[in-house]
Amino acid sequence: MLAMLRALSVFAFLSLIAGCSTAQPAAGDNWIGFTETGQASYYSDKFQNRKTASGAIYKHELHTAAHKKLPFGSKVKVTNRKSGKSVVVTINDRGPFVKGRIIDLSKSAFSQIGSTSSGLINVKIEVLR
């Protein structure tokens, strides 16, 4: 009887874990064309050479970004809605977790489409692949 209870407990635990999976669709067809509008921010200097959620090391000079849900490796076109300037970045981190912000760009990527002195810009993002 005790063995049966243990087996049921293990089964229930494994079922619970499987139901709580945070797996996301792989970068691919189900995200291509996804668009979103909101504010973009950029990484402060304190994040230089720190590990991102994907395990990559953050570098200001690389065109990378953080998004709450898009799969790591996604290529995203980020367009400044005021100037029309755009940059393509690779998602390798999670965030930003501030209301209204949809993407956190590397400093160099942000500089391609706006002035870092502004801190925030209104953007449209589109998943390319």
Please report whether residue 110 resides in a domain: yes
Please report whether residue 51 resides in a domain: yes
Model-level pTM? Answer: 0.76
Q: What percent of the chain has pLDDT over 70?
A: 78
Please report whether residue 44 resides in a domain: yes
Please report whether residue 17 resides in a domain: no
CATH of the domain at 70: 2.40.40.10
Please report whether residue 19 resides in a domain: no
Please report whether residue 58 resides in a domain: yes
Whether the pLDDT of residue 73 is over 90: the answer is yes
Please report whether residue 90 resides in a domain: yes
- Structural domain total, the chain: 1
- Mind listing the pLDDT tens digit for each residue in 102-113? 999 999 999 999
Please report whether residue 21 resides in a domain: no
- Domain range for 77 is 28-127
The DSSP code sequence of 78-129 is EEETTT--EEEEEEEE----STTEEEEE-HHHHHHHS-GGG--EEEEEEE--
